[in-house]
Amino acid sequence: MIASLRGAVASVGLDHAVVEVGGVGMLVHTTPATAASLRHGQEAQLHTSLVVREDSLTLFGFGEAAERDLFEQVQTVSGVGPRLALAMLAVHPPQTLRVAISGGDVLALTKVPGIGRKGAERIVLELRDKVGGTASEAAAVPQSAGSPARGQVTEALVGLGWSAKQADDAVDKVLKVEPDASEVSAMLRLALRELGR
């Protein structure tokens, strides 16, 4: 199991990065917020989870160990694979996701593309007593500042499962409220919040 990576960032995409470790470029799939925090040429450390399939080895990376642990934990639920688990963490920060699960907030879980009401209820049923999290902890979670170019945010939202129109409308609403938003991660977080309403 590859538990973490440290090395220079060779390239960054909307939902992935290549980190050079010992002369080998490792492709790591991430949430858009984690990808936005990485800078080409700078050293990065990611907590990772290796997903082994019959025909592939896929590495997922996270800025915090707690995020990686939650990613692995939600996959213990039937029907939740690594892509859906990653989408959950793209829509909700780890502590907010824990609070939603432990509090039985099915509505918050259905805001994730790919999770319907029955799937959300199954996640709550199987993980409610295992994830921890209280409402007061959710209120204490800092919101990340920063946000990028409109095109990158729209593309990231489409990649997470929303239509191009939904993505454009959400970004338009964000820019009306925050016309100076320029960092991708901040704009993406605000757009995801807007889509969750």
Delineate the domains of the chain, giving CATH numbers in brackets: 4-62 (2.40.50.140), 65-139 (1.10.150.20), 150-195 (1.10.8.10)
CA dist 84 → 116, 178, 182 (Å): 12, 29, 28
User: Which pLDDT tens digit goes with each residue over 151-197?
Assistant: 778 778 877 878 777 888 888 888 888 776 667 778 888 888 888 76
Beta strand 56-62 pairing with 24-29: parallel
pTM of the model: 0.67
User: Which pLDDT tens digit goes with each residue over 57-72?
Assistant: 999 999 999 999 999 9
Lowest-confidence pick of 36-40, 146-150, 188-192: 146-150
Q: With a cut of 70, say whether residue 146 has pLDDT above it.
A: no
> Tokens 């490792």, residue?
26
Report the mean per-residue pLDDT for the chain.
85
- On whether the CB atoms of residues 169 and 197 are closer than 8 A, the answer is no
* The pLDDT value given to residue 83: 94
Residue 52 pairs in a beta bridge with 57
